[in-house]
């Protein structure tokens, strides 16, 4: 692939010397094992990369709390990146289950405590809701029963909601309360590579994960801290901006750059009150953020930075 990239670049502009952006793109191709089928696709991906690169440089120049850089999405079109954001507002109001706000720790991270599975990549499918649903169920099972299962996102994607066209974690949990979810080993994820929802192949006798009760949470920072102190909570965020998509490290704290048009489901797995941020896990692989994790600032007026305070929900497992 590197040889192909060099050959193509050599044809662009005749004897033109490689500039900084050309070299950055070549390194990007090698680092992310990119493979383009034609010169036309190569040119399109280079154009996408160049636009993303300019936005990254802008974000890093106008604020210092978060660091932005390239990841596996850098050469995607805006339409391809938008397709990742598969959260759909189709929930009904849930009964509130108040959590005690007395004596909660100043910092919590359920993943470093061993209550989360490894970061995954939803790939070319708007199944973020399925990954948020499964990850929250897995952590709840570990916290309640001491074992950490791995549930099947494909079971949700193919059998519930609108698959790669979007869904909602509360609807997924309602499905899992009536249809225990299979393990990932029995029902592996395929939609990320195909971009296709797939036909439901669910076998109820193989189901191992059943939701008992859905939990609501208040939308203030204090309420969310109290809730997340007890378990991870699925949340929604506005993820269509390059500001969110190019995040590498630090704290996302610019509400205007992120927006509040929530379209993506992730999981809030902890918080740090002293440093004023939520800890979240995404489903875009380990090239996004801090190896798949991110920090989003607390303290903004509702709905919070990137809209994170809008819809926190969790569950208990049977």
CA distance linking residue 287 with residue 244, whole number of Å: 13
How many CB atoms are located within 10 Å of the residue 113 CB?
13
Whose tokens are 């809701």? That residue is: 129
253 is catalytic: no
Is 70 among the residues known to form the active site?
no
Residue in 125, 128, 159, 217 annotated catalytic: 128
Per-residue exposure over 77-105, b if at least 16 CB sit within 10 Å of its own CB, e if not: eeeebebbbbbbeeeeeeeeeebeeeebe
Give the other-Cβ count within 10 Å of 198's Cβ: 16
**Active-site hit among 121, 161, 262, 264:** 264
Is 264 a catalytic site residue? yes
Structure tokens of 195?
Answer: 């971009």
**Distance between CA atoms of 130 and 139, rounded to whole angstroms?**
14
Q: Count the neighbouring beta carbons within 10 Å of the beta carbon of residue 197.
A: 19
Residue 100: DSSP 8-state: P
Cis ω for the linkage preceding 157 (within 30 of 0): no
Catalytic residue selected from 282, 295, 306, 309 = 282
Query: Distance (Å, rounded) from C-alpha 93 to C-alpha 96?
Result: 9
Q: Which residues are the active-site residues?
A: 128, 264, 282
């Amino acid at each position: 692939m590197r040889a192909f990239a060099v050959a193509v670049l050599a044809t662009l502009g005749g004897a033109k010397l490689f500039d900084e952006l050309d070299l950055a793109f070549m390194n990007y191709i090698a680092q992310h094992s990119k493979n383009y089928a034609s010169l036309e696709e190569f040119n399109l991906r280079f154009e996408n990369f160049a636009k993303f690169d300019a936005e990254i440089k802008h974000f890093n120049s106008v604020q210092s709390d978060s660091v932005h850089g390239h990841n596996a999405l850098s050469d995607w079109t805006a339409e391809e990146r938008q397709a990742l954001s598969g959260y759909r507002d189709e929930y009904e109001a849930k009964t509130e289950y108040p959590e005690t706000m007395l004596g909660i720790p100043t910092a919590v991270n359920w993943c470093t405590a061993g209550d989360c599975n490894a970061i995954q990549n939803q790939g070319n499918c708007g199944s973020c809701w399925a990954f948020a649903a499964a990850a929250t169920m897995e952590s709840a099972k570990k916290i309640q029963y001491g074992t950490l299962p791995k549930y099947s996102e494909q079971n949700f994607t193919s059998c519930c909601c609108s698959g790669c066209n979007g869904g909602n974690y509360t609807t997924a949990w309602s499905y899992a309360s009536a249809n225990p979810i299979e393990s990932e080993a029995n029902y592996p994820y395929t939609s990320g590579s195909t971009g296709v929802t797939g036909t439901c192949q669910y076998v109820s006798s193989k189901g191992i994960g059943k939701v008992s009760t859905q939990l609501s949470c208040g939308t203030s920072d204090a309420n969310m801290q109290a809730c997340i102190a007890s378990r991870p909570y699925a949340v929604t965020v506005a993820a269509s901006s390059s500001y969110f998509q190019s995040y590498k490290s630090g704290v996302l704290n610019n509400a205007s750059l992120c927006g509040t048009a929530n379209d993506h489901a992730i999981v809030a797995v902890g918080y740090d009150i002293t440093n004023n941020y939520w800890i979240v896990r995404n489903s875009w692989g380990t090239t996004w953020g801090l190896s798949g994790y991110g920090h989003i600032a607390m303290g903004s007026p509702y709905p919070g930075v990137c809209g994170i305070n809008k819809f926190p929900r969790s569950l208990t497992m049977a």
